[in-house]
Every structure is written in C-alpha cells, then in structure tokens.
Structure 1
Amino acid sequence: MNKDVIYIDVEDDVTAITGKVKDAKEKVVALVPPKRTGALQSAVNLRILQRTAKNAGKHLVLITNDQSLIPLAAGAGLPIAKNLQTKPEVPEIAALQVDDDDDIIDGSLLPVGEHAASTDRTKQAAKHIPVTSAATPEKKSYAKPPQGDESPRKSKVAGKVPNFSSFRKKLIFIILGVLLLIGFLVWAIFFAPHATVTITAKTSDERISTALTVGTALTTNVDNATIKAVQVQTKEESSVEFAATGTEEQGERATGTMEITRTSIGARPISIPVGTGFSSGDYTYTTTESATLGGTEIGEGDIVQDTVKVGVRAVNIGGEYNLSARDYDATVRGVEASGSAMSGGSKKTVKIVTQADVQKASEQIAAKNSDEIKAALKKKFPSSVKAIDSSFRTGQAETAAAPEVGKEAPDGNATLTSSVTYLMDGISTSELEKYIEAAAKSRVSQESDQRVYESGVAEAQLADFAANEAGGTVNLTAVAQVGPEIKDNDIKNRVKTKRFGDIQEDLKSIQGVDDVDVKFFPFWVNTVPEDTNKITVKFNLDRASANDE
C-alpha cells in the first residue's frame, strides 16, 4: 500500500506536524521522528496527531525504536513500526506487577534485641491490665497463618470511602425534582386554569339576495352595493391547424403588342393613354404604355398617317386570352389596331384562407382550452378568496393566420396561432363576510336586540357575472344566522369565579339561550378563573326557520 513519509524536525511543533499530516495525499502516513523526539515526547501531542489523522481519514504510523516513545504511543493507540518495511502494531501497555511479599514482615528475620525488647514491653503492659472477671476469657478467633509457600491474605477494609460524585448527582436530581414540582404547582394554580363556556342560542335565517358591483379599484360599501374584488389572469399561447375553405382563380394575363394606325385626317395628334382598350370579340386588352399619333401629313400623291406600336395586356387571366395575331376594335376613334399573337395567359383555382376560417379556428382554440385554463385560474386564488366562476372571460387576444387571410393555402391547410389573456374575478372571504354581516345588520331592527352569529359566507353564491368598465356586476345570495344579542365580555364577567351549576342557572335566564355547557381545564379545576382572558365563550347555533319564530 502506498504511504506518505513525513520526517519530523526537532524544531517542528505539534501544529506544524498536524498540518503536514492533513496535507498528506496517501491514506497511510508514516512519521519518522528525530533522535531528539521534541514535540512527540508528549502523550497529549500524540493523541492530537492521532485524532487529526482520524478526522482526515488517514492512518498514522510512528517509525521509531525509542523505548521512551513506545509507552506514549501505546497510550494514544498509535501503531509503531521499527522501520518503513515492517508491519506496524499498537504496542501493549505493560501491566504493573504487585509484590504482595513486600507487605509481610517476617518476625524471624528481626534481630534478637528487638525480640527481647518487644517481649519486655508486652509483659510490662500485661501487669497494668485490671482483672474485671474471674471467668475464663472468651476465646477469639484468628485467621490461620499462611502455610508453606502460601502468601498471607490481605485484611478486609473495615469501611468504604463515601462516593461524593454519586452523592452530588443525587443531590442535583433532588434539587431539579423540587424545582420542577414547584414550577408545576405554580403553573397548575396560576396559569393552567381555563374555562370554556358554550352557549346554544336559537337563531333564524336572514336571506340576502342583491346585485353587487365588483371591481379591483372599488371599496366594500353596503349603501353603494359595491365590493372590492381580486382578479387573476393568465396568458396562453395556442395554435390549431384548420382547412382553408375559400377558393380563388389565380393565374397570369396574356401579353403582346398592338400596332395602332391613325385613320382620321387631321392635323391634331391623337393620344393613346395607358389603359386604352382593344377588343376582339369577348377578349379585351389594354395598353400598358401611352402613345401619341401625329397629325396627317400630305405626301407625294397620297396622305401619310402616323403609326405606333405599344404593349398590351389582357384584362383577365386565363389561357383563353392567348389569341393569334388579328385586328382589334379600338375604344379610341380615328384609329385602327392590329395585334400580335398574345401569350402567357394562364388560370388555376386555388384554396385561400378566409376570415370565416380564422374565426372558426379561434372558436376551436377557445373551446379546447377554456376548461383547463379556468381550473388553472381558480387555483391561482388563495384559499381566502371565493372565485366567481361566471367571471371567466377572455381579455386581449392576438391571432395570426399562416397563410394570411386572402392568401393561397398550398395544401389546403392553414395554421392559426393565438395569444389570449384570460381573466377571472374573485372576492376575499373577509370582504364578502363584512358585506353580508353589514347587509344583515341593516335589516335587523335595533329594537329587537339581535345580532348576526353567522354570515353564511361559506355557502354564499356569486352568479351571473357581467363585465363592465368598473369591473363587473354579480348577483349575491347568502343566508345569515341572526339571534339574540349576547356579548362575549358580558358573559365572561357574569361567569367568572362561579361553578358549573351557578353558571347554567344564570345564563339560561337570558332570552334566546337554549343550553349552557362549561368545560374546565385541567381536570382538577371546578371554578371559572377570575381572569377573563382565561375564559373562552363559544356559541352553538340552533337554527330555526322563519316559521318557527
């Protein structure tokens, strides 16, 4: 396996060595220390090098025979090799040898003088021991002395040393438990209590049916019957191939020359303007250039008339105008004409694109894409906007037919490319709800002490949209729920600090209230908190038709 060899200088510190390890290209990096080990004579530095190599995805090997480095490398888990060719191994840490014999004192090895002194002291101490009882003293059991080469057993420790780390952990857990208990009690007594009062009130329907003017520039106003609208739009590029149904005869007009000779006698010249006609039966040709015939001149023995030759072209296309040379009748008096053979006339019937074809293709594009585009536009509205389905319409449209209208469709087919802007209007749920509530309140008498509980905006219908300059008009149909006026704050003030039974008895006395329910949280709470912010009032509607009231 390839490896990088790094030779360490005596002056290199651990930072320089780690940099060299990181810069190594091979996975295996061999460190060759100097004779004076320097920065490697530290277990901490060796661990840093080993950690750096692992983080860099490299395997570090120390090349050394230094006996002082081997234990340090073993502690850091760093493999060692004697040279670059030998297999690296992690050295083992030698176990400590404990010599139990060092703790044993053999009395036979003591000097005689010491034995004698010890014996005298024992006798002296025995003389001063008082005799407390004449009874035979109880024999005490002693451990057997070691026999032969058996090593003596160590005496058992009389008591364990306290583990202060374990005691500290237990103390921390006890303190945390006490703090959590105190926090829970504070939360349970001062913050947790909450009450939800649910009142079932009897309501009646208030039907709203009106025409509205909607527009993005308008503001919601019940008196003016206007409501602010939201508009989305999209531009779609579409194309469709269609058949050209128009026909047209196309071709070339025959051309030739016409020799015109003056027949009238007179000094005044005769003008032949462009477009002068010359006919032979049903075929007429017109001049393509102007000419002038001079006046009559008297020659030797006879008069001399002027003659000119001009180009002519058939008035219509078709091969039937390719006539042979012949005389023609002129539309100008006082001249006669003789035409050359006419040629170049041709005619064919071709398919052309008509305006009706383009209109029909446009309708096909609209029918093809309308459902998909309408669904895509509705998705553009956020969930807080109610779309007006009938407001889907086209705005600016740009169409281009190829070939153009009136042009030949060589194979009888043409393509229409359309760029159309589609529009759809919607009304924000909040704006619609505000309008319905205001409309319902305006119909409820102030003396009846009624309020709107539900606007019915979720089931409101918006139909029959008609676009105009302001935006459009739409018919709104909604059913609001109207019931007795019960204010949330009044209820909160009436129920605070009361129990379930007292609350039911009090609130059921209000006209229009059918039922009252109270939910307490947590389960041990049975009294409504005094703080009104911890009281929630909900209303359930017992809907009744107009006939029930």
Structure 2
Amino acid sequence: MAKKIYDIMPPKVAQKARVAPMVVKRKRAVKKEAPVFTAEKLQTTSATIEKRGFPKKELLIGGGVVALLLAVYLYGALARATVEIAPKTQTLNFQEKISADTSYENVNLLKKIIPARVLTQEKQGSQEFPATGSASNDGKAAGTIKVYNKVSPVTPITLKAGTHFLSDSGKYFISLDRIVIPAAKGNAPGSVDVRVEAEQSGTEYNIGASKFSVPKLSGTAYYYGIWAESKSAMAGGYTGSVKKVSKDDLSGAKDVLTKKLLAEAEALLREKISPDEILLDDAVSKTTVSALADATEGAVAGSFNETASVKVSGLVFKKEDIQKFAKLYAQSKLAEGSALRDELLDASYEVDTVDMQAGVAKMNLKVLGTSYHFIDTHALGGSLTAKNAGQIQAAIEGQYGVEVLTVKTHFWPFWVSKAPKDKNKIKIELIFE
C-alpha cells in the first residue's frame, strides 16, 4: 500500500506521531527545557507594572511626619541653657595674733590657737684636732759628785738642799738634797756622794770629770776645806720645743665640733617633717649636751680628741591647720549673706616669740581673701525655667540687685530661645572678673 505523505498532519495523526516516540523512549531521562516567554506575555507584564506606579507621595508624607516628630523630640531633649553670673566681690584683709601650742590637738578659733608638736633629734660625735701651742722642752744636765770635808778643827759640815757648786769650767750645779759631810779622820777627809743638777738647760752643761767649789763659802775658813769632784761626765743637758694643748685649742675644738653636730642634727630633724608640716626657723632650739677633750690645757701633745653630744628641737605645725584657722577666722568676719572664695584665701605669718620649754610659739597672722554675696545656684535654677534671656536677667537682678554685676545667658542648640522646663538642664556658673 502506498505510503501517504502529508504537508500538514491531521490532528489525530499528529497526536499519534507524538505519542509513539514516548512509548519507545520511556526509560530515558527527559530533559527539562527552559520556559519560553513569548512576546505576548512580556507585553502583558510590562503593562501591569506601569499600571501600579511608585508611591512617592506616600513616602514624602511619611518622611515629613517622622522629621516633625524628631524635631519636636530634639527640641525638648537637646535644649540646654547656661547662665553666667558675675557677682560683685570685696577684698578682705585681716590681722590677728595666734599661738601654735603643743597642748592642743585641734584648731581653736575662740582661743586663737592651732595645734603643734615638738620634734627632737640628738647627735653624738668626736673629732681629732691638732695642738697649736708650744712649750720649751729643755733638759738639764745631771750627775753625781763627791763632796769632801777637810775642815780644821775637824767637824761634820751640813749643807742645805740647793747648795750651788761651781765647776772649774765655770758651770753651776745645784744639790738636790740636804748634805751632811762627815768630819775628816786623820789625813783622810770626810766625804759623801751627792746628786746635782745643772742650774740651766743646754748641752754645754754636759761637762766631763771636774772639780767643784762652794761659792757661798768664799771668804770663810770653810772655803778651802770643802770641795767636790766628779769622776764621770754630766749628762742630759739639751734644748728644744714641743707642741702643747692651749686654751684656744680646747675652745676652738669644742666650737667646731658642736657646730658640725648641730648642723647634722638639724638636717636629720628636718627629714622627720612630713610635706604638710612647717618648721619655724625661729622655733628651733639647739643645745650642747656635753663636750669633753681627752687632754687638758698645757698638756704636751701633738693632737687631741674632742667628743661632744648635741640636741636640736623644733616646733612644727600643719599647713592645713593654719589654712583652716585662716578660713574660719575670715568666715567669722564676713557680712551676713556673704561667701568666701576659698581658692583666693592666703595666710602668711611671722614668729613673735618662741618658748620651747612650754611648747608655744606666738605668731602674727595676716589673712587676705575675697568675698561675694552668696548665690544659691541650685535654688535659682528652678526659677529660670521656660524663660528667655531677658526674663532670666530680670529675674536674677530682681533677686540679687547690685550684688550682681553682669548676667549672660547661652542657649543650645542654636534654635533654642528659652530655657528648658527641666531645671536640671539649666547650668548656672559664677564668673569672677
């Protein structure tokens, strides 16, 4: 049978043609094809968007409402006011006599006393000093002579201590003891050994063996019957000088050492003072407890040692106590309704008298300061709420009058023209010109 060929397949044939392949290829994976948009569908979608439009009007209205609410909030939340008040001031100048007393522990305005305490520092030390005095160190020659007695008629002879004997070389020697010379026996003269010393010092008295006469017996019958002889040379005669401790040496050593120890003791005392304490220069007591040298005046020595002990005491008080007294004193002199500018308060003092034993120092106190009419900034803030600059100035001047020199008000942010209703957002500052 001849096969039919169709240019356009009939619907039934076309359906069969499409179904047949699906039966054969059932088990194969079917590829999904991307959707195809026809021109007709695209035109429909674009037309729909154009019909809806962008909501510009609604956004503008909503944004305006939000901005208005935000502005109202910021106006109330950010609003601040600063009021600067320059009060009228008055200079203060007071003078008073006060005491720093160790028997008090607190400032006493009524008795005009501030507390004080006494600090004490002791110091001991020694130092060697040279002797500057000089003394003769001459030596006298000495030796032994034998004195003979050949007086006739025979008799013992007694000579006193200090009898002079003259050598054949012209040197005088003196007996040191009383002499008793035995009488002669027959042709043998009586004799005795005697210790003698040269009348003067010097090496020229170191003479050799010599014969001696007794000058005081000259012109008497005893002169030729009494004589002396030495068998050995005299020795020990010399001249020289040595150092000795003088009165000036002792006083100078004491002065030098005690001054040195007192300076060291005062330095140690000042180290004990805390930074907030004051040591009055005129309230420092310096005492020499003891001073002793190991040599006496006239002692022959090249040097000597001086030992001393000293004590330094000082009266101190606290800076804060004198400032506290000055503040209390100035406040007691203020007119009613006035206040004191603490930062400008100045207290100076001069020492009048000091009694370290009693622990009291009398001083002249001078107090300088500045006062102004008291302005209660906390209470004032509540009366300035919701007021403009002019109203604020009028309110302050109405309350304090001539006690206020100037009033300046600053608002923030720039668009604010009145003080906030919340007084805590109003800052009041006192400005002193």
TM-score normalised by L of structure 2: 0.48
TM-score normalised by L of structure 1: 0.40
